[in-house]
Amino acid sequence: MAQPLKIALAGLGTVGVGVIRLVEANRALIERRAGRPIQITVVSARDRRKDRGIDLTPYAWEDDMVILGERADVDVVVEMVGGADGPALACSRTTIEAGKALVTANKAMIAHHGLELAAKAEDQRVALKFEAAVAGGIPVIKALREGAAANAIERVYGILNGTCNYILTVMEDTGRDFADVLAEAQALGYAEADPTFDIEGIDAAHKLSILAAIAFGTRVDFAGVVASGITRLRAADIAQAQALGYVIRLIGMAEAGADGLFQRVQPHLVPVDHPLAHVDGATNAVVAEGNFSGRLLFQGAGAGDGPTASAVVADLIDIARGELGPAFSMPVAELEALAPAATGHRQSRAYIRFMVADRPGVLAEITAALRDAGVSIESLIQKGRAADAGEVMVAMVSHEGPESAVTEALRLLDGAPCLTEPPLVLHILAD
């Protein structure tokens, strides 16, 4: 019989337990596909006594996850702890330095340290794989590295955070409060240990920076992602968008070109007839535009134990088969360093929402600033007086124009006494 591939699991939370369940449930099928058994030999987490709802007695326990890769009974370490630095990074470094393969679900670590780890893996001639780090169960990294490898990818964008998409769609369907729905997403195992990473757009930014590197053959540039999340959205924005024929989705978008590398995560208004408008709950979707393939759309569960475990174990099967491609689809030395692109000249339509004092002349002040900045208004809605009085919502959609015009309008209005909070600008996703 072929030698088993011996696996160490670091982290036994949502994803780690999902991996054990999947390996046990599909053992025979996985062995036939991998050509050899995949055998979990040792596990590690923080608290040995915690009840995880599974039997851990078949596996050795290691208190210090950092040395997992140095053990003789380990060929591959699967890191499912999380955090860009700390024990996850220490464990990953020692694993690769010990000449063992590393699989990780940790997008924060790959966004910050992926190039270092990939270069180490190339030196050691071991695999570094992170399919689960982007878009949960969707095999989008494999699709871009392999299936679409012949294309120059010009643009990649999509819904990259299951927690935010779950929150937005439940709010849309039920009108429920943000905080309630976030607690539900946490209970379902979608959210990060620190859920501000989800709701502030940071998790999506981690994923976008990884996706952009693979799609464009550029160096990972997490610092170059301009990110905002969903915390400033009000139920009234969601209702307003619906009235105008849109839904709101947190979209990550990246483009590479002569201008440099454009990377942005922001809630967008998505026309109801766009495929991304129908991506609901914790589902993710990624669109990649190749110069020969045309538009490719990948969709599936973006978070949760089963889908994420599916991506992790697919990486293990690849390693068992001996597939050892460069982590970012080309060697680290080949990745191009692109500077962040300027955005002022980008043409877009925007939804601009103002919360203003309920007094005469306010609308004229706002529209004067928009006029002076050259922003042309396509439609404008002023909501009636709020029950709690004092402020009203003025929402408008601009005609297509340069982003710099909207920026200038906001500059002109900065500190205006009529504004009760800073304006909110959301771009409208073009078809």
Q: Which is nearer to ligand HSE, 66 or 303 (CB)?
A: 303
Residue 273 touches which of ligand HSE, ligand NAP, none (CB < 5 to 8 A by kind)? Answer: none
Q: Does 163 bind ligand HSE (CB under 6 A)?
A: yes
Distance CA 58, CA 273 (A): 51
Q: Does 19 bind ligand HSE (CB under 6 A)?
A: no
Residue 106 touches which of ligand HSE, ligand NAP, none (CB < 5 to 8 A by kind)? Answer: ligand NAP
Q: Which of residues 88-107 bind ligand NAP (CB under 6 A)?
A: 105-107
Comparing CA positions, the residue from 1, 5, 38 lying closest to residue 309 is 38
Between the CA of residue 1 and those of 6, 11, 111, 339, what are the distances in Å? 14, 30, 39, 51
Q: Does 203 bind ligand HSE (CB under 6 A)?
A: yes
Q: Which is nearer to ligand HSE, 19 or 410 (CB)?
A: 19
Q: Does 162 bind ligand HSE (CB under 6 A)?
A: yes
Tell me, yes or no, if 207 is annotated catalytic.
Answer: yes
Residue 169 touches which of ligand NAP, ligand HSE, none (CB < 5 to 8 A by kind)? Answer: none
Taking contact as CB under 6 A, which single stretch among the options 37-45, 75-83, 191-199, 234-242 is the one that binds ligand HSE? Answer: 191-199
Q: Does 130 bind ligand HSE (CB under 6 A)?
A: no
Token pair belonging to 64? 């210090």
CA quadruple 263, 269, 274, 277: dihedral positive or negative? positive
Q: Which of residues 338-367 bind ligand HSE (CB under 6 A)?
A: none
Residue 87 Cβ vs ligand HSE, minimum distance, rounded to whole Å: 19
Q: Which of residues 6-45 bind ligand NAP (CB under 6 A)?
A: 11-16, 45
Q: What is the DSSP letter of 327?
A: T
Q: What is the DSSP letter of 144?
A: I
Helix (H, G, I), strand (E, B) or coil at 298: strand
Considering CB under 6 A, how many residues would be counted as binding ligand HSE? Answer: 11
Going by C-beta distance under 8 Å and a sequence separation of 6 or more, which residues neighbour residue 20?
9, 12, 40, 43, 54
Q: Does 62 bind ligand NAP (CB under 6 A)?
A: no
The amino acid at residue 184 is: E
In DSSP terms, 357 is beta-bridged to 391
Q: Which of residues 361-400 bind ligand HSE (CB under 6 A)?
A: none
Residue 163 touches which of ligand HSE, ligand NAP, none (CB < 5 to 8 A by kind)? Answer: ligand HSE
Token pair belonging to 279? 């991506």
Q: Does 192 bind ligand HSE (CB under 6 A)?
A: yes
Pick from 75, 79, 131, 198: which binds ligand HSE (CB under 6 A)?
A: 198
In DSSP terms, 401 is beta-bridged to 348
The amino acid at residue 386 is: A
Pick from 69, 304, 326, 423: which binds ligand NAP (CB under 6 A)?
A: 304
Parallel, antiparallel or unpaired: strands 401-402 and 347-348: antiparallel
Q: Which is nearer to ligand HSE, 14 or 240 (CB)?
A: 14
Residue 227 Cβ vs ligand NAP, minimum distance, rounded to whole Å: 16
Helix, strand, coil proportions of the chain in percent (round to 5)? 40, 25, 35
Pick from 66, 111, 303, 356: which binds ligand NAP (CB under 6 A)?
A: 303
Residue number of the CB atom closest to ligand NAP: 13
Give the long-range contacts of residues 21-29, CB within 8 A, separation 24 or more: 21/54, 21/305, 21/306, 21/309, 22/306, 22/309, 22/310, 22/313, 23/313, 26/313
Comparing CA positions, the residue from 217, 202, 175, 241 lying closest to residue 84 is 202
Residue 47 touches which of ligand NAP, ligand HSE, none (CB < 5 to 8 A by kind)? Answer: ligand NAP
Q: Does 328 bind ligand HSE (CB under 6 A)?
A: no
- List the catalytic residues: 207
Interface with ligand HSE by CB under 6 A: which residues?
Answer: 136, 161-163, 190-192, 198, 203, 302-303
